[in-house]
Amino acid sequence: MTYTFDFSGFGLYADMLVHGAAVTLGLTAVSTLLGGLVGIAGASIAAAGPKWARWLVASYVELIRNTPFLVQLFFVFFGLPSLGIHIDEVQAAILAMTVNLGAYATEIVRAGIDSIPRGQVQAAQALGLHGRQVFRHVVLPQALANVFPALLGQVLIVMLGSAVVSQISVPDLTYAANFIQSRNFRSFESYLIITATYLLMSIVLRQLLNRFGRGLFAGRAARGNSNNSNSGSNDSGNAPRNWRTRLTWRGARTLPTEH
């Protein structure tokens, strides 16, 4: 059995493929920005918020992480109009991608917050910083630096998972491939092209974000990790770190003396 590749007719659809790639990257960019903000806010509440707020964040995270993204997308696009909320397909895709990324980012950033050693919080307090300043200027930058590779991987997963938004007629890269193969009946070539395009976009985006992260967080992750390792023996036998940092970020000036 032989197969003859034929890419001769794909030049006619070059503009559609380029537009589809641009839509995919645009959706990824917007949802990354919004989802990152949701993740930081959710992680802050999970680490230092009141009990009822932590419960809400935990429920949100579990709900999103244990349901398919396609179902979430259909719920937003087909379900919200039943409640009187009418949005177009692009807005629905951005909302679904943001909610999905926000849940995973919440857990990733929360892990980064938990990795910051207690000594840095105490040192910041000794310099006169209050709870929110400690979190904003000391804890959060190092937490994001520590988990940036994990956040980057999740962003790429969301970009690749955005292929399903073609199911609600968003004109992304996968939508373009579906349209092209329905016209020229060259399914193998069509999906081979978008496979290569997704691969190229993932590699380029990873490199760009890695370079951005190295510039943005230069030196921060190294300090956080070294301090964490150095203070490991000092923190042994103490109360859980979440309890200490939660008390601090709520505005406590000092922590209980531990014996």
pLDDT tens digits, one per residue of 83-106: 999 999 999 999 999 999 999 999
pLDDT-derived band of residue 5, with 50, 70 and 90 as boundaries?
confident
CA atoms 119, 121, 124, 128: torsion sign: negative
The whole-angstrom distance between residue 142's C-alpha and the CA centroid of its chain comes to: 17
pLDDT at 191: 95
The domain spans of the chain are 11-249
The model's pLDDT over 155-172, given as tens digits with 9 standing for 90+, comes to 999 999 999 999 999 999
Distance CA 77, CA 90 (A): 10
The H-assigned helical ranges of 127-240 are 131-134, 140-161, 173-184, 187-216, 220-230, 232-235
The whole-angstrom distance between residue 34's C-alpha and the CA centroid of its chain comes to: 9
Local structure of residue 128 (DSSP, 8 states): T
| Helix, strand, coil shares, percent, the chain, to 5 | 80, 0, 20
As its CATH architecture, domain 11-249 has Orthogonal Bundle (1.10)
- Mean pLDDT for the stretch of residues 176-190: 93
pLDDT at 221: 57
CA atoms 110, 113, 115, 117: torsion sign: negative
pTM of the predicted model as reported, rounded to 2 decimal places: 0.82
pLDDT at 219: 64
Distance CA 244, CA 52 (A): 19
53-57, 119-123, 138-142: range with lowest mean pLDDT:
119-123
